Amino acid sequence: MAFLFGSWGFFGHKTVASIAEKHLTDEAKQAVKELLGKETLADVASWADEVRNQPEYKNTAGWHFVNLPLGLNRRRFKDSIESLKNKNLLTALALNESIIKDPNATKDQKMIALKFIVHLVGDAHQPMHVSRAEDKGGNTIQVQFDGKGTNLHSLWDSRLLDHQGLSITQLVAKDDIGKSKIRKWQRATPVDWLFESYKISSKLYQEVEKNNKLDEAYYQSHIAIANKRIEMGGIRLAGVLNELFKNGISYK
């Protein structure tokens, strides 16, 4: 599997986490506070990127993405991703959720698992984290955007969001999703999240093959997709944590 650089960037991950914080139950809020102390979900949102080059976390490099060939339907996508032998985003999320559920895990182990979950749910909603190995998730696909050179992965990590010019507070304030949509989004499984990103990245590949000089029209037609993926990531992160901590938290 190819290594991917970045993942919604600091800005995107912190926004996902900030949205999630608005939708936590009292039980989840208490559990998060017990594990993180004075830090918030937003404070730790990029931690998994920051530590992955440290010796003790080098084995987590493959946790941030999934590489699959294009052209898979929903059934073949599910079969393919579940049969991958390498560690990937889906298996990493399941592993860290199992640590949270394990009453024999220590408080420190659960704290680290929580930090990974916050980050990985965000990664799952960045379209270019579910993409092709041969171009390293779009990292080797050069594009022009806003008159400057970049690559397809970085464009979706940060450049579109930067161009929007909104603060994290402003993006979080836009979160006015109704209860029925929240329930619908939270019913989706992690495989569903990844397939949504896969369908988007497949379209993004097709577009840049036709034209890699991306202008204001590209921004206008795609920024709503980026914003929705961040919002969905936040709502679903809250759903994951609410379920994991519905009975509080216990540790060895």
Q: What is the pLDDT of residues 27-59, one digit of tens each?
A: 999 999 999 999 999 999 999 999 999 999 999
Is there a domain that residue 64 lies in?
Answer: yes
Distance CA 75, CA 195 (A): 10
How would you classify residue 30: left for phi > 0, otherwise alpha for psi between -120 and 50, otherwise beta? alpha
Quick one: which of 165, 161, 169 has its CA closest to 21? 169
pLDDT value at 174 more than 90 = no
Among 6-10, 152-156, 160-164, name the one with the lowest average pLDDT: 6-10
pLDDT at 22: 95
pLDDT at 196: 98
pLDDT value at 2 more than 50 = no
- How far apart, in Å, are the Cα atoms of 243 and each of 2, 17, 28, 247? 32, 16, 8, 8
Is there a domain that residue 251 lies in?
Answer: no
pLDDT at 5: 39
In the chain, what percentage of residues exceed pLDDT 90? 92
- Cβ–Cβ < 8 Å for 198, 72: yes
Is there a domain that residue 3 lies in?
Answer: no
- Cβ–Cβ < 8 Å for 198, 68: yes
pLDDT at 42: 97
Distance CA 196, CA 174 (A): 22
Mean pLDDT of the chain: 94
More confident residue, 160 or 2: 160
pLDDT value at 1 more than 50 = no
pLDDT value at 192 more than 50 = yes
Quick one: which of 2, 17, 8 has its CA closest to 236? 17
Structural domain including 17 reads 9-244
pLDDT at 8: 66
pLDDT at 6: 43
SS (HEC) of 113-127: HHHHHHHHHHHHCCH
In degrees and rounded to multiples of 5, residue 175 shows phi and psi of: -70, 100
How would you classify residue 106: left for phi > 0, otherwise alpha for psi between -120 and 50, otherwise beta? beta
pLDDT at 175: 77
Distance CA 252, CA 250 (A): 7
In degrees and rounded to multiples of 5, residue 247 shows phi and psi of: -110, 25
Is there a domain that residue 230 lies in?
Answer: yes
pLDDT in tens, 123-145: 999 999 999 999 999 999 999 99
Longest dimension (CA), the chain: 56
Is there a domain that residue 4 lies in?
Answer: no
Among 4-8, 27-31, 168-172, 200-204, name the one with the lowest average pLDDT: 4-8
Among 1-15, 134-148, 202-216, name the one with the lowest average pLDDT: 1-15
- Cβ–Cβ < 8 Å for 47, 119: yes
In the chain, what percentage of residues exceed pLDDT 70? 97
> How many other CB atoms sit within 10 Å of the CB of residue 45?
26
CATH of the domain at 236: 1.10.575.10
pLDDT in tens, 54-82: 999 999 999 999 999 999 999 999 999 99
Is there a domain that residue 129 lies in?
Answer: yes
Total of domains in the chain = 1
For the entire predicted model, the pTM comes to 0.95
- How far apart, in Å, are the Cα atoms of 18 and each of 3, 13, 22, 174, 184? 27, 9, 7, 12, 20
Q: Which two tokens stand for residue 219?
A: 């921004």
Buried residues in 112-151 as b, exposed as e (16+ CB within 10 A): bbbbbbbbbbbbbbbbbbbbbeebbbbbebebebeeeebb
Is there a domain that residue 252 lies in?
Answer: no
